[in-house]
Amino acid sequence: MEDLVESILDYVRADYTDYAIMINGEWGSGKTYFWNNKIRNKIDSLQLNGKTYTTIYMSLYGISNLEDISKKIFIETTQLMDKNMRKYMNSTDQQSIPEYAKTGLDMANLFGVTQNGDKVDYSKFFSTDDKVLCFDDLERANVDVIDILGYINNFVEHDHIKTIIICNEKELSTKLKSTNLEMKTFIATYLLDKEGDLSKTDKPMVEKIQDKIEYVFDKANDYERIKEKLIGETFEYVPEFNYIINGILMRYESNPDLIRFLRENTNYIISTFNKSGTRNLRILKHALNDFKKIYEMVNKYYPNTNYRILQTMLIFTIAISFEIKAGKITKDKFINIVDNEEYKSILVSSRILMDNRQFYIKEFDNNYYYNFKSEYRFFKFIEIYVRTRIFDMKIFKSNMEVIINTVDTEKLPGYKRLLTEEYWKISDDQFPGVIEEVLEDVKNGKVKLLDTVKLFIYFTYFTKKGLVEYDIKTIRSTFFNGMNIAALTSEYYENPDEEIERIVGEEKTQEINEILNHFYMLNRALKDKKYSEKAEEIFKCIPMKMEMFYERFDKECMDVPIFKYYDPYQMFQRISCASNEDIVSIKEKLLDRADKYTKEIEPEIKNIKQLKQIIDDYIKGKDMGIKIVMLQEFSKDLETILEKYR
């Protein structure tokens, strides 16, 4: 790094130059930090031939026209002539005027008067051999790059001002190719059509259009041409991460516990950063800021948290920040993973059953936790915090309670060890005992239904490998009976198919199919139980608590065949006791629901038909009254609903 600094200073010291130099590096790699902390001060302290050099720094980020650059240069040079401002900046160790402050500078500058009333010293403008211009963020300007380089070339070629350009050439190349892409595609397609090449099948259409765009609009060549003329040397900036990371950690000096922890684990910070495959220090800074919040919350509410857990939290925070913020994945990769148990379950099934559908999760774990042993490797509250910027206290406390109770895996129930830990990590002495414990828990219905299915898949595998003494028929019988007992206290699984598909894989034995069929049968029974209870709760609000009925029906029943789970005779009794106004409201709600969710509510049609028949039998031969008329209308609308299914 010192060699790079000296090379840049050699350029500044040179008596005569008619070229600029470029510092090229990836976004977030610390190029601007390098300029401010390694280069700028050294240039400002240079004295050659009685001259003291002055740096003028300008970020081109967001610049929309060349005039904006001129204004920036004017403001930066004008500050050098204002004695009061220079005195203030020196006393406060300010290197440049903040952008906000620039907007508030007295516009008298534009009329040749500085803020202390002195006239402009025009010699300052004509003196160019003691200035060093630095243009940063070239690729982020909203002006054509070719125009900006042409503009800068005026200073370099005609005035021989030392000029340094900082940019990310990789992003610059992408920008040159992607500018006005829709317009370029339209013109390229038009030209191909005119030339008769559009209908030919000699190569893919996308490739043809891309080739034509590059042929007609090859700005990359223009860039290379002007760069060759303007840039004398290009320096590749590869930062010394140890030095920079040490500088980043300095900002946490006010928190002695945190800074001590971070310094003790600098090797993990650097290692995780390197494994991310990026050079983006900006993301690392954000990740460490996020960890500061996490560390403080953990120490506040759970001060005795295991040190290894804190180390894992640090790695996970940095890792998931890079995965999400560097654009390596879409944010939803981790959304459906509920907790560490599910995360590890995915890893176990992908490794034991060779399931590659969760390839990303397996690669994430292999990459960031390579040679780092920790049983708790996924933190839902951290994932949500990084992804949404919301620190969910409820999930945080829930995660931490589980962590406290599961750090020592040998204290876990045997079935949880099999679900969350690779079986080969269990010693040969312990394995038979774990198997017996699992079978006993399954037999007594202590394992959730879906977990029972997962365990049966593993036992099928263990039987095939000769790791258990029991034959598969005996194991199947134990699991069948245990599932029946577990179903008594289990809850309905809303969408189990994806989870089952993931754990079962492509190889299904007869026994696995039987277990699956039994699971689905029990789950349907749990569904009936769940919605029967819901129907009882909601419909008992008729006729005395109609506001509550409407609220819950709208929120929970519009796309659910809830009438399937409630006795039509009881339904009639409740509706007939409701006010005429409520009878009208209910029938209108049912009509609207049938239009919007025709397919979803089809299973309840049998009960709707029965309800209509009960109403028709009741009003038959009755004297006309408003209530009877309302029930007649209700019956007609039920007929309209039934017609949709005939």
Of 139, 155, 175, the position where a domain reaches its end is: 175
Whether 265 and 127 share a structural domain: no
Q: Which two tokens stand for residue 300?
A: 């506040």
CATH classification of the domain holding 69: 3.40.50
- 507 located within any domain: yes
Q: Check residue 289 and give its pLDDT.
A: 93
Residue 398 burial (C-beta neighbours within 10 Å; 0-12, 13-18, 19+): middle
Whether 29 and 164 share a structural domain: yes
Whether 390 and 437 share a structural domain: no
Residue 48's H or E segment, with its range, is: strand 47-48
Residue 59's H or E segment, with its range, is: strand 54-59
| 413/196 Cα distance (integer angstroms) | 72
Residue for token digits 């009438």? 563
* Under-50 pLDDT residues of the chain: 81, 99-115, 119-123, 125-126
Whether 568 and 608 share a structural domain: yes
Q: What type of residue sits at position 11?
A: Y
Helix, strand or coil for residue 13?
A: helix
Tell me which residue of 71, 236, 60 sits closest to 136, measured CA to CA. 60
- 416 located within any domain: no
Residue for token digits 């007295």? 106
Q: State the total domains in the chain.
A: 4
- 199 located within any domain: no
- 184 located within any domain: no
Percent pLDDT > 90 in the chain is: 37
pTM of the model: 0.50
- 344 located within any domain: yes
What distances in angstroms separate CA 216 from CA 113, 177, 190, 204, 213, one per listed residue? 50, 11, 12, 19, 5
Whether 90 and 129 share a structural domain: yes
pLDDT one-digit tens code per residue, 254-275: 899 999 999 889 889 988 988 9
Expressed in percent and rounded to 5, the helix, strand and coil fractions of the chain are 65, 5, 30
Residues in the chain: 646
Q: Check residue 49 and give its pLDDT.
A: 77
Whether 165 and 38 share a structural domain: yes
Of 148, 175, 202, the position where a domain reaches its end is: 175
Q: Check residue 447 and give its pLDDT.
A: 92
Q: Which domain holds residue 161?
A: 2-175
Whether 355 and 446 share a structural domain: no
| 322/27 Cα distance (integer angstroms) | 13
- Residue 196 and residue 213 in contact, taking contact as beta carbons nearer than 8 Å: no
| 421/475 Cα distance (integer angstroms) | 21
| 597/602 Cα distance (integer angstroms) | 9
Whether 603 and 476 share a structural domain: no
Of 354, 382, 407, the position where a domain reaches its end is: 407
Q: Check residue 18 and give its pLDDT.
A: 85
Whether 522 and 545 share a structural domain: no
Whether 558 and 608 share a structural domain: yes
Q: Check residue 286 and give its pLDDT.
A: 92
- 414 located within any domain: no
Using omega within 30 degrees of 0 as the cis cutoff, is the peptide bond preceding 496 cis? no
Using omega within 30 degrees of 0 as the cis cutoff, is the peptide bond preceding 543 cis? yes
Q: Find how far residue 381's CA is from the centre of its chain.
A: 13
- 206 located within any domain: no
Whether 388 and 455 share a structural domain: no
Q: Check residue 120 and give its pLDDT.
A: 47
pLDDT one-digit tens code per residue, 75-123: 666 655 455 665 666 666 665 555 434 433 443 444 444 445 554 444 4
- Residue 244 and residue 281 in contact, taking contact as beta carbons nearer than 8 Å: yes
| 317/311 Cα distance (integer angstroms) | 10
Q: Check residue 106 and give its pLDDT.
A: 41
Is the Cα dihedral 324, 330, 331, 334 positive or negative? negative
Q: Check residue 393 and give its pLDDT.
A: 94
Q: Find how far residue 580's CA is from the centre of its chain.
A: 52
Helix, strand or coil for residue 58?
A: strand
- 302 located within any domain: yes
Whether 457 and 384 share a structural domain: no
